[in-house]
Structure 1
Amino acid sequence: MKQLMIPATALCALALPAHADLTVMSWGGAYERSQVEAYNKPFTAETGIAINMMAADNPAASIKSMVEAGNVTIDVADLEYTDAVRLCDEGALEEIDPAILPAAPDGTPATEDFLPGALTDCAVASMVFSTVYGFDTTKFPDEKPSTLGDFFDTDAFPGKRGLRRGPKINLELALMADGVPPEEVYETLATDEGVDRAFAKLDTIKSQITWWEAGAQPPQLLADGEVAMTTAYNGRLFAAMVAENKPFEIVWDGQVLEYELFAIPRGAPNLEDALEYIKFATGTERLANQTKWISYGPARRSSIPLVGLFEDEETEMTPHLPTNEDNLRNSLQSSYEFWVDHEMEIAERFNTWLAQ
């Protein structure tokens, strides 16, 4: 009887379970590209699972709508801290046991290796980003802006200002520009007088503000000459400056730092593979590798010594990270506790102020 010979490659293929593609919702632009290069490509190479990326101005809104409608088509979402905590409290996210996350190369458990606050009940931080402001150097050939106060000084530094549409970060920046030390910002904002003070500071430039909503917009506003200065995510400005050779400069004074986190919507179609993706993406090496593509700081201590060069193989990335010691002077760690407690009423006040 003739023996049927089956190629070894075919046997391997038969032994592997079938996997559906994973869908990851992120923010688009240079940030999404960094995730594709650092996480998605090696994950697919290792597991055979393809990754489909979707971009949103804010993934939290899409996730909330999907969960409420009972029609979740996203497996993993990249969320801001406040949104991750709020959606978790609302039952819209799956819980993630930190014990499943990979240890550091030296064996340090993930719970000790991640930076403080980087692990929540439903989300795992990947990167530390910050809101800074940048300016077009051609608009200021003589004296250049160098402090947060200069952003609000349209007499000394004339021109339109770009701000993200919403109260979060803007109120903090306004108070710091008005002389409130970073360590007193949230204590001040928790009072009616403090909120009044922040809006009064914003009033001084209100007529000069161009509002943006998506992270890709601020560098474009600068490039198009629509604004002379704009707040922006530091990685977006870095990409424009280094990768595109735009004549921009970052002012780190008064930067507001935040975590960006991976979460899984409740009812995600591929829960187990989504967990594997998050475990893979938040490993020490992967988080360090992401800095090759964008200037955000890794959320793990063990990743920091592994940070090297930008993709141009020339630019040292450490000086461009928001977590670099030189960039942390007069910086503020965003308080998700404050915004979870106060976002609704302050957002209502902001919308009324905007319409006036």
Structure 2
Amino acid sequence: MKRSIILGTSAIVAIAGFAYAEGHMANDMTLVSWGGAYQNSQQKAYVEPYLAANEGVTAVWDESSSEAVAKLRAMNEAGNVTWDVVDVVASDAIRLCDEGLAIEIDHDEVLAPGDDGSAPTEDFGDLIVSDCFIPQIVYSTTFGYRDDLVGDTPPTSVCDVFDLEEYPGTRSLERNPIGNLEWALICDGVDIADVYDTLETDAGQDRAFAKLDTIKDSVIWWNAGADTPQLLADGEIVMGSTYNGRLFSLIEEQDQPVSMLWDWQMFDLDGWIIPAGLSPEREARAFDFIRFATDTKRLADQAQYISYGPARKSSAPLVSTHAELGIEMAPHMPTDPANSENTFVFNYEWWADYRDDLDAKFQAWLSQ
């Protein structure tokens, strides 16, 4: 069944006629994202132009995307959904969709066609990994290191993160199992093709945690994407994981003595969902905003502010230079050939199935 039928009246308002919809849309939105340089790129690329084109509409940010699943579960349980559009990673979008906490959509009806005339499903292609997910960027989680704290031989392998003898000092890792468990197995000798099969077993999970045990006492655990860049800038860590766009901002915009380690960077997708349980007026506004924010131009514009690849094929030819620095952005993208010799493609469907169990196991391990 198509989304326009599922949505009923609000779908007709949001999709079929925007002129009519203007009188039936809420005038305020709460947008949820990750803060820092990434959220700033969203603000510049499409929130500010959207508000300029829609007089009287306001938008506020909530920086709780890392807790989106738990918070939307709680809001749904309480019958009080206060968020209108939520930026989430693909695996969380799949979980929210499976649990009925995000709205299923017909992408070709809801979203704008590409500037080249392509249908949205063609333009986004395989990046549409859920009926509820509206792709926005391709990014990677990788490592940055302080040039002045690694000696004369900079790290070249992600496994150098586990080498306290060659690279002594504090590291930072995200306070969740994603990425950490995969890197731990890779650096314990598991073949790339076997990582998720290994991680499905209790023995494989124990093996990953045992590898993490070797550096656990030298780790600061972060929750927000801005944490590692700040720790690197302050010289409190020798190396740490974060999103490649945050490191771009730290290195190119802030001119910090930091370099990037692209080895086995973890590719992932990020995009929007619209929560279930909104009033028709709020839902209509959310759909109107999403259509604007994910068109060809807006996704290309975002790449002027941060080094994430736009999810639309039609946006790629429009990516050029940084809006303020004037430097070419393509060489700073995770998909650039020079950066992607060794990449690990994150399995979001696998994590959608195993995330709750491994979250609990990871938090229990941290508390030991």
Taking structure 2 as the reference length, what is the TM-score of the superposition? 0.88
Superposed CA offset, 1:296-315 (max 9, x none) = 11111111111111122422
Alpha carbons 2:177, 2:358 under 8 Å: kept: yes
Q: Which residue, out of 74, 78, 91, partners 1:69?
A: 78
How far residue 178 of structure 1 moved from its aligned partner, in angstroms, is: 2.5
Alpha carbons 1:239, 1:294 under 8 Å: kept: yes
Structure 1 segments, 4+ long, off by >4 Å, are 15-19
Q: Is residue 248 from structure 1 mapped to residue 240 from structure 2 by the alignment?
A: no
Q: Is residue 53 from structure 1 mapped to residue 65 from structure 2 by the alignment?
A: no
- Helix, strand or coil at the partner of 1:58: helix
Q: Is residue 268 from structure 1 mapped to residue 275 from structure 2 by the alignment?
A: no
How far residue 16 of structure 1 moved from its aligned partner, in angstroms, is: 6.5
- Helix, strand or coil at the partner of 1:52: strand
CA distance in 2: counterparts of 1:342 and 1:19, whole angstroms: 37
Q: Which residue, out of 332, 338, 358, partners 1:320?
A: 332
Q: Which residue, out of 117, 138, 150, partners 2:127?
A: 117
Alignment of 1:276-355 (within 5 A): 276-355=288-367
How large is the Cα RMSD of the aligned pairs?
Answer: 1.8
Report sequence identity in percent. 44
Gaps of at least 5 residues in structure 2 are 1-18
Alpha carbons 2:97, 2:130 under 8 Å: kept: no
Superposed CA offset, 1:172-191 (max 9, x none) = 11122223343322122122
CA distance in 2: counterparts of 1:19 and 1:164, whole angstroms: 36
CA distance in 1: counterparts of 2:152 and 2:31, whole angstroms: 45
CA distance in 1: counterparts of 2:308 and 2:33, whole angstroms: 15
Q: Read off the aligned partner of 1:75 and give its amino acid letter.
A: D
CA distance in 1: counterparts of 2:193 and 2:340, whole angstroms: 13
CA distance in 2: counterparts of 1:271 and 1:174, whole angstroms: 42
Alpha carbons 2:90, 2:269 under 8 Å: kept: yes
Q: Is residue 29 from structure 1 mapped to residue 52 from structure 2 by the alignment?
A: no
Gaps of at least 5 residues in structure 1 are 1-11
Superposed CA offset, 1:203-230 (max 9, x none) = 1111111111111111111122221110
How far residue 19 of structure 1 moved from its aligned partner, in angstroms, is: 4.5
When residues 222 and 168 of structure 1 are mapped into structure 2, their CA distance, relative to the original with a 3 A threshold, is same
CA distance in 2: counterparts of 1:210 and 1:75, whole angstroms: 33
Q: Which residue, out of 134, 141, 147, partners 1:131?
A: 141
When residues 143 and 54 of structure 1 are mapped into structure 2, their CA distance, relative to the original with a 3 A threshold, is same
How far residue 138 of structure 1 moved from its aligned partner, in angstroms, is: 1.1
CA distance in 2: counterparts of 1:18 and 1:198, whole angstroms: 49
Please say which of residues 50-59 and 121-130 is displaced more in the overlay: 50-59
- The residue number in structure 1 matching 2:182 is 172
- The residue number in structure 2 matching 1:6 is none
How far residue 259 of structure 1 moved from its aligned partner, in angstroms, is: 0.8
When residues 85 and 341 of structure 1 are mapped into structure 2, their CA distance, relative to the original with a 3 A threshold, is same
Q: Is residue 83 from structure 1 mapped to residue 92 from structure 2 by the alignment?
A: yes
- The residue number in structure 2 matching 1:148 is 158
CA distance in 1: counterparts of 2:61 and 2:241, whole angstroms: 26
When residues 91 and 16 of structure 1 are mapped into structure 2, their CA distance, relative to the original with a 3 A threshold, is closer
How far residue 262 of structure 1 moved from its aligned partner, in angstroms, is: 0.5
- Helix, strand or coil at the partner of 1:316: coil
Q: Which residue, out of 207, 227, 232, partners 1:197?
A: 207
CA distance in 2: counterparts of 1:26 and 1:42, whole angstroms: 18
Alpha carbons 2:25, 2:284 under 8 Å: kept: no
How far residue 115 of structure 1 moved from its aligned partner, in angstroms, is: 4.1
How far residue 141 of structure 1 moved from its aligned partner, in angstroms, is: 4.1
- The residue number in structure 1 matching 2:170 is 160
CA distance in 1: counterparts of 2:304 and 2:68, whole angstroms: 24
The number of equivalent residue pairs is 343
Alpha carbons 1:164, 1:212 under 8 Å: kept: yes
CA distance in 1: counterparts of 2:125 and 2:309, whole angstroms: 11
Alpha carbons 1:182, 1:331 under 8 Å: kept: no
- The residue number in structure 2 matching 1:5 is none
- The residue number in structure 1 matching 2:113 is 103
